[in-house]
Structure 1
């Protein structure tokens, strides 16, 4: 038997319960906690994990006095194990849907794209009123790993300039045009050029490093990049800083149109070119969406089309 055929036989003889037990040990931090979580004995969990390691010919977990830690092979296998569990859950939900049961869909949305959600969910509910819906909000660096490991079915966020992860597929939906925003009554609210804003304090949800949007915008205008920039990974915190201090920031024109933000912020009408980003849907490249996830994706796409028409 060749080495490759032996590995193939290992994969097909691996029991799903072993994968379940291994993931439970990792997520619980130890064998005892995993046994309690699954309602089985500690020796049973130990035998299961050791059997899995024997079949894979690799040590997956390192036992320590305080619990267990993943080895390098263990970290690699964990990603595949979680993906396998996610695929099985999706298969079960697909069958549930065919059997007129509820199913579920989970997707992520970036803070500046949340305006798509109400219309999309309303459309989706008309077709799937019993489906469980989970919505995660966050920046791309939080959402995309969750799509990659299939915690989320898809995510709606901007595409960075960097090369797309080969595990993900991207479909553009609309363009975000950014403007400079400040609190109402800001001393610089009537400024019409970046030169007048160069000495201001800034807060940025976008990368503030060299080559980032803030850097590019000021450099293209022939200006030095502002020295006082706070990099913030929380959308709500960034909006609060802009609304309640003299800090400036970039915000999409679409998001500024939301009534809540319009009450606190206003656009500074600078005439210099501003950054823009393509917002779209990220899915796994090698995994089709389930029926219900596909229906939600279709509803999101329709909402994005409506947004583009109203812009």
Structure 2
């Protein structure tokens, strides 16, 4: 396998077509097609499914793509680090942040980061853990600031703990069930919850099953972004489940209320998650340093909004 072949494979995956991949790579369409045909010929496997609607990947292609992303990504990081040693600036940093971090510490962190590294292009994903880990595994993001569990594969990921925090059931202000005292009183309501196929059992266990509660699946609606989830809570009278630190953010503090039920949920732990044995580049290290500086500063602050936030957080560093 040659590097330009793997780069062509990644470009097709990112753009969805050979023509768009050629534009992205600054090559001719014929050059990209040739690189892919040579790769398939060398491996004696069909990697792509070509059709009128675009290009898809076979099972063999998807497996190779995971390795190709890591190889291409590591090469890009190497180029960036060598450029830094030459005194050049620039590069790209891709990160995933859990929603309540976005609503609390992100703006000030980004301002500090851009002061320190103004030439670095920053790409930020709103990342629930079940979405962030596959992206990191495939080399699409450099690190994540996300909750983690004991079941997270230690052979793949390393974690620098930041906080412990609790979660709660939420509703809009004025919801008929806002004063309920037990989870079992809420099972006939519609729920907006985030989960994936792999995280479904963990979410259901923590939210319902550990408390002897079972909700009709027809009342369970999966929302794949925080904005969508909150929209359903605000305007469709659904209930949801979220970290308590989210309640003090500007996006929800004026209209969301926690339902103070008797049941308690598992304490969550949030940290900086990286691929094991991967050294963060200068841009990633700088962003982490900026984030930790902002957290320490906010923790020492006497402002009411900061005191309210840290009432819901246990610092671990």
Q: TM-score, normalised by structure 1?
A: 0.79
1:122 aligns with 2:111: yes
Task: Give the match for residue 110 of structure 1.
Answer: 98
Could you tell me how far apart the structure 1 residues matched to 2:99 and 2:21 are? 35
Q: Secondary structure at the match of 1:260?
A: coil
Could you tell me how far apart the structure 1 residues matched to 2:173 and 2:281 are? 45
Task: Give the match for residue 181 of structure 1.
Answer: 170
1:58 aligns with 2:44: yes
1:81 aligns with 2:68: yes
| Root mean square deviation of aligned Cα | 3.2
Task: Give the match for residue 4 of structure 1.
Answer: none
Q: CA deviation at 1:103?
A: 2.4
Could you tell me how far apart the structure 2 residues matched to 1:229 and 1:289 are? 39
Could you tell me how far apart the structure 2 residues matched to 1:272 and 1:33 are? 52
Could you tell me how far apart the structure 2 residues matched to 1:24 and 1:35 are? 8
Q: Tell me if structure 1 keeps the 8 A contact 2:169–2:259.
A: yes
Counterpart mapping for 1:284-303 below 5 A: 284-303=275-294
Q: 2:4 aligns with which of 12, 17, 24?
A: 17
Report how many residues are paired.
296
Q: Secondary structure at the match of 1:262?
A: coil
More deviation in 126-135 or 26-35? 26-35
Q: CA deviation at 1:224?
A: 3.1
Could you tell me how far apart the structure 1 residues matched to 2:182 and 2:21 are? 60
Q: CA deviation at 1:210?
A: 7.6
Instruction: Summarize deviations over 1:155-210 as a string: whole Å, max 9, x none.
Output: 12222453426333233221231112111112222233334334333222257988
Counterpart mapping for 1:1-311 below 5 A: 14=2, 16-25=3-12, 27=14, 34-35=21-22, 38=25, 40-41=27-28, 44-53=31-40, 56-61=42-47, 64=50, 66=52, 70-98=57-85, 99-114=87-102, 115-160=104-149, 162-164=151-153, 166-206=155-195, 211-221=201-211, 223-227=212-216, 228-304=219-295, 310-311=310-311
Could you tell me how far apart the structure 1 residues matched to 2:186 and 2:223 are? 19
Q: CA deviation at 1:150?
A: 1.8
Could you tell me how far apart the structure 1 residues matched to 2:136 and 2:249 are? 27
Could you tell me how far apart the structure 2 residues matched to 1:38 and 1:79 are? 19
Q: Tell me if structure 1 keeps the 8 A contact 2:165–2:267.
A: yes
Q: Tell me if structure 1 keeps the 8 A contact 2:96–2:124.
A: yes
Instruction: Summarize deviations over 1:269-289 as a string: whole Å, max 9, x none.
Output: 223223331122221213211
Could you tell me how far apart the structure 2 residues matched to 1:37 and 1:61 are? 20
Q: CA deviation at 1:292?
A: 1.0
Q: CA deviation at 1:260?
A: 2.8
Q: Which has the larger radius of gyration?
A: 1
Could you tell me how far apart the structure 2 residues matched to 1:211 and 1:46 are? 43
Q: CA deviation at 1:267?
A: 1.6
Could you tell me how far apart the structure 2 residues matched to 1:69 and 1:217 are? 37
Could you tell me how far apart the structure 2 residues matched to 1:32 and 1:182 are? 48
Instruction: Summarize deviations over 1:106-142 as a string: whole Å, max 9, x none.
Output: 1011223312312322332332233221111132232
Unaligned runs of 5+ in 1: 1-10
